[in-house]
Amino acid sequence: MIADFFTISMRDIWCKGIRSWLTMIGIFMGIAAIVSLMSLGEGLQNAMDEQFELLGYNIIYVMPGSSLVSMGTGTAKLDDYDLKIIKKIRGVELAGGLITKLAKVKFKDETAYILVSGVDPGSTQEILFDGTGIEILKGQKKFSESDRYKAFVGYELWAGNVFDKPVGVGDRITVNDKRFHVVGEISRIGNSQDDLSVYIPQETIKDIFGVEDDYMMIMARAKPSYDPEDVAEDIKKALRKDRGLDEGDEDFQVQTMKQMKDSVGIVLDGVQAVVIGIAFISLFVGGLGIMNTMYTSVLEKTQEIGVMKAVGAKNSDILTLFMIESGTIGLVGGVIGCLIGAGLSKTVEYIAVVELDQTLIKASITPELILGALAFSFIVGCISGVLPARQASQLKPVDALRYE
């Protein structure tokens, strides 16, 4: 019987033509927004997770400054003394510093301003290239102690996205007017900031910029049997103690990948919640549209309702018919919304990859998302139809038949 009711309802929706489509607009706009935003949000989250995974969960990052925003801009510094303290902590297997400076990089006749990092051929290099998924694809695998004016280049450089021509192994570049020999190409990390970088030996960067031990970041690798969170906490305590600071007054940041992931996740969730909230308002308006259409439908079909009751339809049958109709409007709106939403997010992904060369933005269209969106649109349709359907079902047959 439900199948027959469904057929009757579909006929009604079809007969209404343009009115049915207009009613659905509200629903499919909302669903399209939800599907596209959630798929992009989920995709971004997944890409971030991959990034964090790539960089390694057992690595702890210590940075100067009391917050990520003030990182490197304040007076607080991390130097060799801090590095020594960190190295002494139980649970730290290796620790090394990274000096990063913005430098004028020249290739052939072109100039670009790029972050250049000085890598200590010992610990820093090992943490960077052994403990993470970052590797040297071409050229020599590591800097040796004796290397001075040699450089590894990031993906953006060797892919040819910075200068007219790709900068590859064997090429020569200048960093702050000093000539360097490119000896390695670093694998793609996935975010443009990390991919747009040049690595040189630490001693060389100290010479060029006239700095000694002004670390942008100290990286520590936790021993396998230790929880990186606990080790991070120990580092925090040790540095705090050494600097005579109270908890909360730190002029440095200690973060594990998990914490970074969580804090990025919180931001992402917040953004997603706001945007999805707006999409829900659109769905609510869409639901009101369905309700309006269904009330009109009840008025238009009053006599038909009378006839159906005269030939034996019970109140519950009329209620079911109208609920199926409104639910179907919602569901069809949902199907169109899913298609538009999926199309939108895939377009954004395509633009991100092709136009912006950004692999972090990925649309993650999962069956759960689509099924959830469809179920939700059907429920919105049904809820919107409850009141009109009730009104229709409670019409007295004699009044309904007489209605003109």
Partner 1 sequence: MAEEGTREPIIELVDVWKIYQMGEVQVKALRGLSLNIYPHEFVAVMGPSGSGKSTLMNMIGCLDVPTKGKVYLENRDISQLHESDLAQIRGQIIGFVFQTFNLMPGLTALENVMLPMTFQGTDRRDREKRGRNLLTLVGLGERMNHKPTELSGGQQQRVAIARALANDPDVILADEPTGNLDSKTGKEVMDMLTQLHEEEGKTIVMVTHDQRLSTYVERIIQIMDGKTTESLNHNRGGIEDDEI
Rounded distance between C-alpha atoms, residue 90 and residue 106, angstroms? 44
2 makes contact with partner 1 (CB under 8 A) = no
12 makes contact with partner 1 (CB under 8 A) = yes
**How many residues sit in the footprint of partner 1 (CB under 8 A)?**
25
Residue 403 is classified by DSSP as: -
Q: Quote the radius of gyration of the chain (alpha carbons, Å).
A: 31
6 makes contact with partner 1 (CB under 8 A) = no
Rounded distance between C-alpha atoms, residue 52 and residue 95, angstroms? 19
- The answer to whether 39 and 365 have CB atoms below 8 angstroms apart is yes
332 makes contact with partner 1 (CB under 8 A) = no
- Work out whether the CA dihedral 314, 317, 323, 328 comes out positive or negative: negative
Q: Shortest distance, CB of residue 10 to partner 1, whole angstroms?
A: 10
- The answer to whether 336 and 24 have CB atoms below 8 angstroms apart is yes
CB of 214 or CB of 317, closer to partner 1: 317
The helix or strand, by DSSP H or E, that contains position 401, with its residue range, turns out to be: helix 397-402
Q: Shortest distance, CB of residue 396 to partner 1, whole angstroms?
A: 7
Rounded distance between C-alpha atoms, residue 18 and residue 23, angstroms? 9
104 makes contact with partner 1 (CB under 8 A) = no
Give the pair of three-digit tokens for residue 348: 């954004």
- Closest-CA residue to 262 (of 228, 311, 218): 228
- The answer to whether 105 and 84 have CB atoms below 8 angstroms apart is no
Q: Shortest distance, CB of residue 15 to partner 1, whole angstroms?
A: 5
Rounded distance between C-alpha atoms, residue 292 and residue 322, angstroms? 13
Residue 267 burial by Cβ neighbours in a 10 Å radius (0-12, 13-18, 19+): exposed
Give the pair of three-digit tokens for residue 22: 């207009």
Distances (CA, A) of 17 to 8, 20, 397: 15, 6, 28
Question: Which residue in 24, 308, 344, 389 binds partner 1 (CB under 8 A)?
Answer: 308
Q: Shortest distance, CB of residue 302 to partner 1, whole angstroms?
A: 12
Q: Shortest distance, CB of residue 339 to partner 1, whole angstroms?
A: 27
Q: Shortest distance, CB of residue 14 to partner 1, whole angstroms?
A: 8
Question: Which residue in 67, 303, 347, 366 binds partner 1 (CB under 8 A)?
Answer: 303
Question: Which residue in 70, 292, 315, 364 binds partner 1 (CB under 8 A)?
Answer: 315
403 makes contact with partner 1 (CB under 8 A) = no
Question: Which residue in 247, 311, 354, 368 binds partner 1 (CB under 8 A)?
Answer: 311
Give the pair of three-digit tokens for residue 316: 């519950």
CB of 190 or CB of 385, closer to partner 1: 385
Q: Which span sits near partner 1 by CB under 8 A: 83-91, 134-142, 285-293, 311-319? A: 311-319
50 makes contact with partner 1 (CB under 8 A) = no
299 makes contact with partner 1 (CB under 8 A) = no
Question: Which residue in 17, 146, 316, 354 binds partner 1 (CB under 8 A)?
Answer: 316
The helix or strand, by DSSP H or E, that contains position 252, with its residue range, turns out to be: strand 252-256
CB of 12 or CB of 171, closer to partner 1: 12
- Closest-CA residue to 350 (of 35, 23, 4, 43): 43
397 makes contact with partner 1 (CB under 8 A) = yes
Phi, then psi, of 173 in degrees rounded to 5:
-125, 165
Question: Which residue in 245, 317, 358, 364 binds partner 1 (CB under 8 A)?
Answer: 317
314 makes contact with partner 1 (CB under 8 A) = yes
Residue 371 burial by Cβ neighbours in a 10 Å radius (0-12, 13-18, 19+): exposed
Q: Would you give the binding string for partner 1 spanning residues 164-203, x where CB under 8 A is met?
A: ----------------------------------------
Question: Which residue in 54, 307, 361, 387 binds partner 1 (CB under 8 A)?
Answer: 307
310 makes contact with partner 1 (CB under 8 A) = yes
For partner 1, the binding residues (CB under 8 A) are: 1, 4-5, 8, 11-12, 15, 303-304, 306-317, 396-398, 401
